[in-house]
Amino acid sequence: MLRAPTAMIRYKTRSWLGIVLSVEGTVVPRVALRTLVCVAVAAVGMMLKERGIADLHLPIVVHSITGVALGLLLVFRTNASYDRYWEGRKLVEGVVDRCRDIARQTRSFVTDPGARQRAGGYIVALYVAVRRHLRHENEFSELADLLSEEDLKRLEQTEAPPLEVSRWLTDLYVTEADDGRLSEHRLRSIENNIGALVDLWGGAERIVETPVPFAYAHHIKLFLTFFCFTVPLALIDSLGWFATVGAGVVAFGMFGIDEIGVEIEDPFGYDDNDLPLDEIGEKLRREIIQTVEG
């Protein structure tokens, strides 16, 4: 599996052994300690039982009943997180498509080369501003060659950089229309794209600003913790020392499913499985500049 810095992990879907033996990009490092604790609980419980110090065995029927409910909660949690992940990907693709379309319209509708060049810089800056804003960042050094120092300072000082850049774009096209170089019909067509792009940004922002409700997240983690840390005691009577293996498998599976949901519920960050926003942005930058200056 290979990837560039801050890019999504690329892997061969049919490489069964390669996927199984991978650690990078998995939840193994985050659940390893909790899994070992569950194994240790099983080992301690078995040791105390063999030495006649205490019998900590719990009836397995409780875990059999509650395990079904916990499994349903985990499935719902993971599905909800993947829905957020996939919606995020569609919104990012929508932003990319609108940026490409605005660049196409700029090249065809705007006759002034200087205005086309400025518009190209603003289109690239709009994507960067959306990406940075979704990550709660306010630094735009990658735009130093496209924007003036004054524009960069304004971006860093505003609370909504994407909105600021979209206004710059609109002002540029309005100026072209006022000077008679762009018809009202073409201006309206470009403005529709800009408005749709702002809507897509709002949709992505909704994902970032609306996490899974705290009550749900708290309850499932508390339920999961009690279940996994007590299941070793329910296994020692029937499995003996093999309860350590059973407890480890159960804990790894349950904690891992929960962590996968946590990993992908906000797809715009820097986690191993987040969307490759930097990679997408670099490709889009090349396309926009080539289109408006071609």
Domain contains 25: no
Domain contains 22: no
State whether 180 and 232 are in the same domain: no
The rounded mean pLDDT for the chain is 91
* 89-121 pLDDT, tens digit each: 999 999 999 999 999 999 999 999 999 999 999
State pTM to two decimals: 0.88
State whether 201 and 238 are in the same domain: no
The structure tokens 């290979």 sit at 2
pLDDT at 7: 58
Domain contains 79: yes
Domain contains 17: no
* 232-290 pLDDT, tens digit each: 999 998 899 999 999 999 999 999 999 999 999 999 999 889 999 999 999 999 999 99
State whether 102 and 194 are in the same domain: yes
Domain contains 14: no
- φ, ψ at 10 (rounded to 5°): -100, 135
Closest among 141, 142, 139, 202 to 166, alpha carbons compared: 202
- Average pLDDT estimate for 124-145: 95
CA gap 249, 9 in Å, rounded? 26
Structure tokens at 291: 């289109």
- Decide if pLDDT at 5 tops 60: no
Domain contains 2: no
Q: Any idea of the CA torsion for 85, 88, 94, 100, to the nearest 10 degrees?
A: -90
State whether 206 and 286 are in the same domain: yes
Output the CA–CA distances (angstroms, integers) from residue 153 to 122, 148, 164, 258, 275, in the order listed.
Answer: 15, 9, 12, 41, 28
State whether 226 and 200 are in the same domain: no
State whether 126 and 172 are in the same domain: yes
State whether 282 and 170 are in the same domain: yes
* 8-18 pLDDT, tens digit each: 777 788 888 88
* 168-213 pLDDT, tens digit each: 999 999 999 999 999 999 999 999 999 999 999 999 999 999 988 8
216 CB burial (10 A radius; 0-12, 13-18, 19+): middle
State whether 220 and 289 are in the same domain: no
What's the structural domain count of the chain? 2
Alpha helices in 110-213 (DSSP H): 113-134, 149-157, 161-178, 184-209
pLDDT at 18: 85
CA gap 277, 294 in Å, rounded? 25
Query: How many angstroms separate the first and last alpha carbons of the chain?
Result: 36
State whether 142 and 155 are in the same domain: yes
Domain contains 197: yes
Domain contains 41: yes
State whether 67 and 185 are in the same domain: no
Domain, as residue range, for 104: 87-210+277-293
- Decide if pLDDT at 50 tops 80: yes
Contact of 45 with 57, CB cutoff 8 Å: yes
pLDDT at 79: 93
CA gap 121, 144 in Å, rounded? 10
State whether 203 and 229 are in the same domain: no
State whether 94 and 134 are in the same domain: yes
